[in-house]
Structure formats: C-alpha cells, structure tokens
Homo-oligomer: A and B are copies of this chain.
Amino acid sequence: MSRILTFSKALNEALHQEMEQDEKVFIIGEDVAKMGGDFGITSGIWKRWPNRAYDTALSESAIVGLACGAAVCGLRPVAEVMFADFIGVCYDQVVNNAAKLCYMYNGQASAQLVVRAVTGGGIRCAYQHSQCIEPWLMNVPGLVVVAPATPYEAKGLLVSAIRSNNPVIFLEHKGLYNTKGEVPEELYSLPLYQAHLEREGTDITLVAGMTMLNFAQRAADELAKEGLSCEIINPRTLCPLDKDAILNSVAKTGRLVIIQEGPKFMGYGAEVGSMVSEALFEYLKAPIRRVTSLDTPVPFAPVLEDYVLPQYPDVLKACREVMAF
C-alpha cells in the first residue's frame, strides 16, 4: 500500500524500517538522536532504540572515523554530517579511509557505512551551507555517491545504501525535503548503480538528478507542446555512474543536455559529457550542452544566489539551441 509522503518522511521511514530488521544498524551524528536531526530525518529513532542512536560532539572526523571502525567490525553505521559542506572537515576520513578500506583489506572487510549529508543551494545559507559537493567525492575510487530525486527514491535508495557493503555518501538535497510523492509503506529497495529512465523520448536526452529533475520534467512538458520529445535520465547513483543508461539514450536521441546544480567547471556533467562524446562520436547530432551554476561561491542574498544557480529558462534555451543546431 502506498501513500503520499514527503521526501523527509520517506527517509525517516527507511531508517525506522531498516533499524527494525537489522540490529547492526545504528545512527550517529550531531543532534540525530534526542532531537531527531536538524531536519528531522532521524526523528523517533532514539525513542525506539535508545542504544542505537548517538548524539555526538561537533566532531565530524570522529563521527566518520568511528563509523569506519564500527563498519569493519560488522556493524552498519548511518552517520549524518548535517550540511554536506561539512564533509570538508572529515574529508580525509571519507576519501583516504572509508573509500580505501575494502581495497586495503583485500575485500576481507569494508567500510559498510552511510554518510548522510544535506547538499545544494536555494535556502539562502551562503558560502558554506549551500554547495553541491558531489564533485569533491567523484574522483575517489571506492566511494559510492547516491543522490535521490523523489520521496520514492529517497526511501528505496537509502535502504540499499544501508545494506551496501560499500561506503555510501547519501546526498539529500535540502530543496527536496518538503516535496511529496507516492511511497510504498512496506520495506523496499531500489538498486544502486542504476539510473532511472524517467521519461522516454526521441529528440533530446536530458540527464538530471535531485532538484534538477524537476527542471527537466517541466522542460520536457513545455517542449512537448512544441512537438519536441525529451528523454529524461535520472542518474540516482552519481558514482559509480550508470554509463550504459546514458549511452543507450543518447545513442537513440543523438542530443544531450546535462542539467546540474553546482559550478560547471569539473562538475559531474563534465564526466557525463566526455564519456558520451567519446563513446557516441558518430551518433551526436549536436554539441552537448551543460546547464549549471556559475563558477562562483554561493552568495546569500536571494537575487545573488538565484543569479548563480541554474535557472529553469536556461534549460529551455539549451534544449532549443541543441535542436536548432
């Protein structure tokens, strides 16, 4: 039976249901236990499992380090570092420890943990609370970076992240927490490393995840009125990326527009674009386009932040240009 839930509630439900069925799962982070998390994602867990929910000091390296050690002992830590920008202070634990433990242990053990973090801009929190930090983590073999776009994905992918034997950085876009969607009551999981074909189309492939998926869907609707057929691919897992899903789509449409929040230069769209242009050189009917943020920090004032972030009209413009080429 499925009902309409918010993205936040879907995440919360995933945590409750996984805590229920695997006692090796525990949560740890700042204010995640008694208060239920800064954004309420872990609410109710401490009440039900007081010995499996831990509030910590402001010590992100300790949080992730502890999670690594506990994971190697067979536990399944779900750590929260609040804003993803804070991964900066525990970056070493993520890229030099968690990411490499499976390799260092020859597969005998691995950092089977989840680090939940709130990514992205839009709520006027400026420089160090608004970044899309995905690219910080995508050139690091051993890491898995997951980025759900809907409540349904939020629950199903978080469940898979918790069950995964790899270190998963689970990115929750703050702009999605209050979005609503159908979510099955029962426990289910969605596969990692698989993109989702959101919509079939024949003229342009739009690659877009998290909040950008909404831009893609709006654009597809609007362009449909102009007789243009967009196919939409939502990566779901940013790294390792489901290359085939993207390649199969572009092989069909011959056109690609990547919609990505965060600075353009070295954003994940760069890899998508290179990968596609290398593999589908003869299939491409037009240059690939990337719709992204400007290459600047994220400022506070709404008019400034909006100027920096990708805007919906940019998507339409890019699609029309690609078609007009």
* A interface list, Cβ under 8 A from B: 85-86, 88-89, 91-92, 95-96, 99-100, 103-104, 127-128, 135-136, 138-142, 239-241, 262-263, 265-275, 277-279, 281, 284, 286-290, 295-297, 299, 325
Contacts and interface: CB of A to CB of B under 8 A. Distances in A.
Nearest to A286: B281
Contact of A296 (B103, B128, B288): B103
A139 B262 contact: yes
A229 to B, nearest CB: 22
Identical subunits present: 2
Contacts of A138: 135, 265-266
A148 B85 CA distance: 30
Given A88-B95, A277-B288, A266 B142 contact: no
Given A139-B267, A240-B265, 6 more contacts: A89-B91, A95-B136, A100-B297, A139-B262, A277-B277, A279-B287
Contacts of A86: 92
Contact of A96 (B88, B270, B296): B88
A281 B325 CA distance: 11
B141 A295 contact: yes
